[in-house]
Chains A and B, each alone.
Chain A
Amino acid sequence: MEMIKAGIQNEIAKLLSLKKYQALLLLTCLISISSGLLGGVTKGLISLSSTNMPFAVLSLVTGFMLPLIIAMAAADLFTAEQENGSIKAVITRPIGRISIFTSKILAIVIYTILILLVCFIISLAWNIVFNGIDLNITETFLAYAVSIVPMLPIILFAVTISQLCKSSSSTVMLTVLGYMIIILMGTILPRVYPMLFTSYTGWYKLFIGSAMPITSILNTLALLVAYTLILFAVSSWAFEKKDY
């Protein structure tokens, strides 16, 4: 456990020392602010009204931004390090490969949570400053908190792709392409739609409102956990067997 903790700290430090990821945090702030501005200008015409702003931002971030950021992080922490040989700095230390693998994944999870947290704070602050407190803060926080769950299979999907690619650019391209193909598949084949992990980026909606559909929540959770575990098993096996 100590080794995984040390690994997570190192991986997070590496991610945050890359200018790209500092810029992405800034970009997230700007998107949250511009969503508020757009909502004010259009007076809610494009579903960015003052009261649903935190949810509109959440929808934008989980459906579009985060999958892209996750693909980039997986490419940088896995494929790029293999490409430039820096992964040897960890592999040759007295830490098991599964611990290295787990700490890299948890670093991506933590960065994803950080992005969600930034969006939550900014959109909530915007709402409070310009509209007063007219939304349920607990419910909004819950929506942001549970949004990490559908991101987990997406993270593992990107990591699995990263194990197949030899360059970081191909990891990003293939992850985005694969993600889009799965979404398209769900659109073309409505029967398949409920079985795809990409269909649940907006599952936070199940937690909004007075009546929470517990059965739906549990079913969705089971599906997302299953995808996460299967993809974890496949990608960790590939990482474990790899020659560096």
Chain B
Amino acid sequence: MKEERQVALIINNITKIYRNGRGIRGVSFQVEKGDIYGLLGPNGSGKTTTMKIITGLSRADGGDVQIFGRSVENEGEKSLEHVGCLIEAPAIYEYLSAKKNLENAAAYYKDVKAPRIEDILRQTGLLQYQNDKVKEFSLGMKQRLGLALALLANPKLVILDEPANGLDIEGMVAIREIIMNQAKAKGITFLISSHLAHELEVMCNKIAIMKDGYLLKTSTMEEVIQQSETLEKYFLEMVGSGMEVPHGND
């Protein structure tokens, strides 16, 4: 008998159209607890818009998002209680130290105290730089601090938008290792967007493909590998032939 898995995130038919006509249309998928779920698509496909709506940064024109059964639209702050995120560039105050940035974020949680801040600084390799101003950090360090901020409050769901964006190979590997370790050690559910197929292939167990604001397909990584050997080939097959963007329903 198949084991019932708890759903962490439900995206139900969300639509958001910007003034220039771009945006997302009728996007639906769900992420189960323990998944490392990848959102793959080229730049401008609607990945960031989807993530902004999930985290309450943007309001959808239609549809509904539920995080652990709570509607983001109706129960805004409560729905974000167990969520950590890194959307676009890390949201950090460059004129503050790494530690102060984490302390500011910790102030919004009852049970996040100094030992947890030290712990997360250690896990992300920033402990020795904790008192340095963030404006002196390299891009990789800023990205790791962004990840530290996302993981700070022991979230059950972490949403990462292009976490390896602009990083060199070492930086990408470091970020990947932190994500994999957290998922393995704490069973955290991840939703990660990227336009780099290889990055998602090595980390994710499920994948959703987006293009031009539409979600084309969701699959398990096993299905992807069985069908096309690599995620990159799978993506190109899907986008390049046959799987057309479903116009006309907006």
Q: Interface of A with B (CB < 8 Å)?
A: 3, 6-7, 9-10, 13-14, 17-18, 84-97, 241, 243-244
Contacts and interface: CB of A to CB of B under 8 A. Distances in A.
Contacts of A13: 100, 104
B2 to A, nearest CB: 33
Interface string B65-88: 000000000001110110101011
A85 B93 contact: no
Contacts of B94: 84, 86
Contacts of B81: 94
Nearest to B96: A17
B55 interface: yes
A243 B59 contact: yes
A92 B58 contact: no
B56 interface: yes
Q: Which of A17, A92, A95, A241 has the most CB atoms of chain B within a 10 A radius of its CB?
A: A92
B108 A18 contact: no
Interface residues of B, number: 30
B76 A89 contact: no
Contacts of A93: 77, 80, 105, 108-109
A244 B105 contact: no
Contacts of A6: 107-108
A244 B57 contact: yes
A88 B100 CA distance: 16
B149 interface: yes
A9 B100 CA distance: 12
Interface string B28-64: 0000000000000000000000001001111100000
Q: Which 3 A-B pairs have the closest CB atoms?
A: A88-B91, A89-B91, A6-B107
B78 A94 contact: yes
State the main secondary structure of chain B at its contact with A.
Answer: loop
Nearest to B85: A92
A17 B108 contact: no
B59 A241 contact: yes
B52 A243 contact: yes
B114 interface: no
B59 A88 contact: no
Interface in B87-104: 87-89, 91-96, 100-101, 104
Contact of B105 (A17, A89, A97): A89
Contacts of B93: 14, 86, 89
B77 A95 contact: yes
B96 A14 contact: yes
5 contacts: A3-B108, A93-B105, A94-B78, A94-B81, A97-B76
B77 A94 contact: yes
B47 to A, nearest CB: 16
Nearest to B106: A6
Contacts of B77: 93-96
A7 B106 CA distance: 11
B162 to A, nearest CB: 13
Contact of A244 (B58, B78, B104): B58
Given A94-B81, A97-B76, A88 B87 contact: yes
A37 to B, nearest CB: 34
B57 A88 contact: yes
- Taking each of B81, B85, B107, which has the highest tally of chain A beta carbons within 10 Å of its own beta carbon? B107
A84 to B, nearest CB: 8
A85 B107 contact: no
Given A85-B91, A243-B57, 9 more contacts: A84-B94, A86-B92, A86-B93, A88-B91, A89-B92, A93-B109, A96-B77, A243-B58, A244-B58
Nearest to B110: A2
A124 B41 CA distance: 65
A216 B211 CA distance: 65
B14 to A, nearest CB: 14
B80 A92 contact: yes
Nearest to A10: B104
A10 to B, nearest CB: 5
Nearest to A89: B91
Contacts of A92: 55-57, 80, 83, 85, 87, 91
Contacts of B107: 6-7, 9-10
Interface string B5-23: 0000000000000000000
A208 to B, nearest CB: 41
